[in-house]
């Protein structure tokens, strides 16, 4: 059987980790995969996570199964954090292996019960199309962002949504758009909510960077506008970045509906989809998040840590934009964009030269992870980028 298989290429983004590690230059710079780094280039375990792990180690009395949908207390606390208490809607969640697991279950559910069509604005996180395609969805694309002008093409998004058919799914990034960092204004969120409600579309909202954009509450404001308007919604949450627990694979998918019965029915389907795929999610990361969110002291410390990570990112954005501003007229937009990523108008050949000649690593799309910069690197990075951008 194996002889009938063709070898598959590595995921380009994940392969970049290996390329970077194999480079022996000590002044190399990693602007690749989306993990937060401090000014030493490390991705430390958060204090609040360490404290929660210590508590779990001391108090956990069993490693037996939890429940088919995962840890219910984790799910309730996470939904309060993301959806808020006053949604006017009913939510039912299933714990998943990371945000990707949540997107996969959502996609399976759309394939099972929806029109089988999903509208995706491009550029997007490359794995979105991969996940939706793997479940057989018909993915229809439209332009979300124009790289040369660094503008969100809102009219193109509205056109795609206005022409979508009743019941179609639409993928929306909650905040800190991956890969562009460019999001909707509050007025645009309201317009999106209207068209989604009017056309009875099903928003699949990907929330993977809460707290890295404008603030912990601010980053879910648009999401809350949508779920208050949409008759039904799916919200995929990743805890990887906000809690810095990437390898613990912690996330959840929430079905949001106008009645508890409808949300519960959707959840029962998500649970059976998980059962026939990986049965049940891993526990540790969810137990850590539950422990943090359930404790006033740990929650406060976690919020302080998350706010500090956002502060560092915002500072780096301002510094890089200022260092690029003499030679690139769109540099101010870099400072306005939010979260870890921006998408620079670079040619693939330029990206490869940056790697080879300067040890600066980013995917060939030209996406940069701002968190990979150290303050001391900014002048050097700006000096080599300016002639390529200007
Ligand atoms: C990224 O976009 O770099 C992250 O979401 C990591 C990943 O899995 O692709």
Distance CA 166, CA 148 (A): 33
Residues 137 and 223 in one domain: yes
- For ligand 1, mutation pick of 127, 339, 365 (most atoms within 8 Å of CB): 127
| pLDDT given for residue 228 in this prediction | 96
Q: Is 183 in the pocket of ligand 1 (CB under 6 A)?
A: no
User: What spacing in Å lies between the alpha carbon of 178 and ligand 1's midpoint?
Assistant: 9
- Per the listing, tokens 């809690």 go with 243
Structure tokens at 271: 């649970």
**Residues 366, 224 share a domain:** no
Ligand 1 pocket, residue 125 CB under 6 Å: yes
Establish if 6 belongs to a structural domain: no
Final residue of a domain: which of 296, 316, 339?
A: 296
Q: Kindly report whether the peptide bond that precedes residue 123 is cis, defined as omega within 30 degrees of 0.
A: yes
Last residue of a domain, one of 269, 296, 323: 296
Domain end residue (candidates: 296, 318, 336)? 296
Question: Which residues belong to the active site?
Answer: 125, 206, 208, 241
**Atom of ligand 1 lying closest to residue 238 CA:** 5
- For 128-180, the pLDDT digits (tens) are 999 999 999 999 999 999 999 999 999 999 999 999 999 999 999 999 999 99
Q: Are residues 30 and 102 in the same domain?
A: no
Is 178 contained in some domain? yes
Distance CA 188, CA 180 (A): 17
Tell me the C-alpha distance between 127 and 14, whole Å.
11
Strand-pair partners of 145: 152
**Assigned domain for 1 exists:** no
Do 99 and 124 lie in one domain? The reply is yes
pLDDT tens string 345-385? 999 999 999 999 999 999 999 999 999 999 999 999 999 99
Q: Which CATH number does the domain housing residue 371 bear?
A: 3.90.1150.10
Residue 292 structural domain: 51-296
What's the structural domain count of the chain? 2
Q: Is the CB of 360 under 6 A from ligand 1?
A: no
- How many other CB atoms sit within 10 Å of the CB of residue 344? 22
Give per-residue pLDDT as tens, 263-281.
999 999 999 999 999 999 9
Model confidence at 390: pLDDT above 80: no
Q: State the closest ligand 1 atom to the C-alpha of 13, by its place in the atom list counted from 1.
A: 9
Mark whether 211 and 332 lie in a shared domain. no
- Binned at pLDDT 50, 70 and 90, residue 88 comes out as confident
Return the CATH number at 280. 3.40.640.10
Q: Is 178 in the pocket of ligand 1 (CB under 6 A)?
A: yes
Residues 37, 55 within the same domain:
no
Same domain, 176 and 76: yes
Domain-located, residue 274: yes
Is 155 exposed, middle or buried (CB count within 10 Å of its CB: 0-12, 13-18, 19+)?
Answer: exposed
Same domain? For 87 and 201 the reply is yes
Query: For ligand 1, is residue 209 a contact (CB within 6 Å)?
Result: no
Residues 190 and 316 placed together within one structural domain of the fold: no
Tell me the Ramachandran region of residue 15: left when phi exceeds 0, alpha when psi lies from -120 to 50, beta otherwise. Answer: alpha
Residue 98, pLDDT > 90, answer yes
- Evaluate whether residue 308 is within a structural domain: yes
Determine, yes or no, domain membership for 4: no
Buried b (16+ CB within 10 A) or exposed e, 238-261: bbbbbbbbbebbbbbbbbbbeeee
Asked if 379 and 230 sit in the same domain, the reply is: no
- 5 lies in a domain? no
User: What confidence score (pLDDT) does residue 85 get?
Assistant: 84
Considering the domain boundaries, does residue 2 fall inside one?
no
- Report in angstroms the alpha-carbon separations of 367 from 41, 124, 149, 340, 344: 18, 11, 15, 10, 6
pLDDT tens digits, one per residue of 221-266? 999 999 999 999 999 999 999 999 999 999 999 999 999 999 999 9
Confirm if 99 and 206 have CB atoms less than 8 A apart. Answer: yes
Same domain, 19 and 59: no
3-state DSSP call for residue 171?
strand
Position in ligand 1 atom list of the atom nearest CA 369: 3
Mean pLDDT of the region 39-66:
96
In this structure, the answer to whether residues 166 and 210 fall within a common structural domain is: yes
């Amino acid at each position: 059987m194996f002889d009938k298989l063709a070898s598959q290429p590595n995921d380009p983004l994940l392969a970049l980790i290996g390329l970077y590690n194999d480079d022996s230059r000590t002044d190399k710079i990693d602007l690749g995969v989306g993990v937060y780094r401090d000014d030493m280039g490390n991705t430390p375990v958060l204090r609040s996570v360490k404290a929660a792990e210590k508590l779990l180690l001391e108090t956990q009395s069993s490693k037996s199964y939890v429940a088919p949908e995962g840890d219910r207390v984790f799910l309730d606390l996470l939904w309060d954090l993301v959806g808020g208490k006053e949604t006017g809607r009913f939510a039912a969640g299933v714990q998943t292996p990371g945000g990707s697991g949540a997107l996969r279950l959502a996609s399976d559910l759309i394939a099972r019960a929806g029109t089988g069509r999903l509208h995706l604005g491009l550029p997007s996180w490359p794995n979105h199309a991969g996940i939706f395609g793997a479940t057989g969805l018909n993915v229809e694309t439209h332009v979300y962002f124009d790289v040369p002008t660094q503008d969100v093409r809102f009219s193109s998004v509205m056109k795609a949504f206005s022409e979508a058919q009743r019941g179609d799914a639409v993928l929306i990034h909650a905040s800190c758009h991956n890969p562009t960092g460019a999001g909707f204004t509050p007025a645009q969120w309201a317009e999106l909510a209207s068209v989604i409600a009017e056309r009875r579309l099903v928003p699949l909202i990907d929330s993977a960077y809460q707290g890295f954009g404008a603030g912990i509450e601010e980053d879910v404001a648009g999401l809350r506008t949508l779920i208050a308007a949409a008759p039904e919604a799916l919200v995929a949450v990743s805890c990887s970045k906000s809690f810095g627990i990437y390898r613990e694979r912690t996330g959840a998918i929430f079905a949001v509906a106008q009645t508890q019965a409808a949300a519960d029915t959707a959840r029962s389907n998500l649970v059976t989809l998980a059962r026939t795929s990986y049965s049940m999610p891993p526990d540790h990361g969810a137990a850590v998040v539950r422990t943090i969110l359930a404790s006033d002291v740990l929650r406060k410390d976690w919020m302080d840590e998350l706010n500090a990570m956002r502060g560092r990112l915002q500072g780096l954005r301002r510094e890089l934009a200022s260092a690029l501003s003499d030679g690139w007229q769109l540099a101010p937009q870099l400072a306005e964009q939010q979260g870890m990523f921006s998408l620079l108008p670079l040619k693939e050949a330029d990206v490869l030269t940056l790697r080879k000649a300067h040890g600066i690593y980013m995917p060939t799309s030209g996406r940069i992870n701002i968190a990979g910069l150290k303050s001391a690197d900014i002048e050097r990075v700006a000096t080599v980028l300016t002639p390529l951008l200007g």
